[in-house]
Amino acid sequence: MNVTRLGRTEVPVSALGFGAAPLGNLYTAISDDEAHATVDAAWDAGLRYYDTAPHYGLGLSERRLGAALARRPRQEFAVSTKVGRLLAPHPAPTGSDLAAGGFAVPDTLTRRPDYSRTGVLRSLEASLDRLGLDRVDIVYVHDPDDHLGTAVGEAIPALLDLRDQGVVGAVGVGANTVGPLLRTVTETDIDAVMVAGRWTLLDRTARPLLDACAARGTSVVAAAPFNSGLLSRPHPAADATFDYGPVPAAVLHRVRRLVEVCARHRTILPHAAVRFPLRSPEVACVVAGFRSGDEVRAAARWAAVDLAEETWAALDSVVETT
């Protein structure tokens, strides 16, 4: 699988990255063995970039990912985690994090937003302990939308100091919204942005962000290429999820038109969804979440094979005219 250096750093990322939110029991639980087998399948398929966060399963994703990678040569893979949410004992647990956080794990811990310099250092130290690593390659400031001033003034400078000391390889910001990412690209010296769901076959609202990144030499990591599920199957159902909620009727109509185009050009919707971000030179890699080996192997096949230009033109016309 193709490997690209992130921004101006020496950190290598594979064209397809492993999103480890499902390892934290996103929506439904999987076993430790299933989690380990999924990471093994990703390794066998050539994926060498693995992304996680304390938010994912209240630390469970980090623990499972670290355990699954423990026997792999450390110099052969890159790991990213995130800061901005400190895990602390829950003062009034309900028994499950599913309603509050979306993860099927006990809510003995809770997430406390902290984008201060001290909070960033504490969060990273705890992540390293859960991962069982002495370093991570990339650290993203996670969802700073409501704390952007502190993120720009404290969190990012703290991480840039760690980068300059060689403690971390690259610094980035990750979010589902374009505005905060645009500000951090233009005002700070970050190496990458992880934009989730806004540069996909269906949603292309991150175009200004990609332009800004091109001007600054900042890499784009395109996450959530399936828009949280809607684009992950050849024939999406009406009850599929779009951006973590129900699919609006207009969006479903547009997707069904994309399905028709794919059928005419002898491809399928998820193949186009995985390949779309990789068309852009600003995009270093696309990161998708996986909960099984079959999902990993299918995505790896799709990432490796581009579509014909006439197919892209037909798909683009659907998005541009609706």
Please choose, from the candidates 30, 35, 103, 102, the residue with its C-alpha nearest in 3D space to the C-alpha of residue 64.
35
Pairing of strands 109-113, 78-83: unpaired
Give the Cβ contact number of residue 60 at 10 Å: 25
Concerning whether 49 is annotated as a catalytic residue, the answer is: no
Q: Which two tokens stand for residue 280?
A: 């852009």
Name the active-site residue from 56, 115, 140, 244: 56
Residue 56, judged by CB atoms within 10 A of its CB (0-12, 13-18, 19+), counts as buried
Give Dmax (Cα) for the chain.
57
Please choose, from the candidates 158, 154, 149, 197, the residue with its C-alpha nearest in 3D space to the C-alpha of residue 175.
197
288 forms beta bridges with 18
Helix (H, G, I), strand (E, B) or coil at 80: strand
* Phi/psi at 256 (5° precision): -65, -30
Q: How far is CA 160 from CA 30, 126, 166, 170, 316, in A?
A: 36, 19, 10, 8, 38
Q: Which two tokens stand for residue 249?
A: 């009727």
Q: Give the helix/strand (H/E) hosting 34.
A: helix 32-44
* Phi/psi at 217 (5° precision): 75, 30
Give the Cβ contact number of residue 113 at 10 Å: 15
Pairing of strands 16-19, 49-51: parallel
Range 66-95 burial, b when 16+ CB lie within 10 A, else e? bbbbeeeeeeebbbbbbbbbbbeebeeeee
Give catalytic residues, as residue numbers.
56
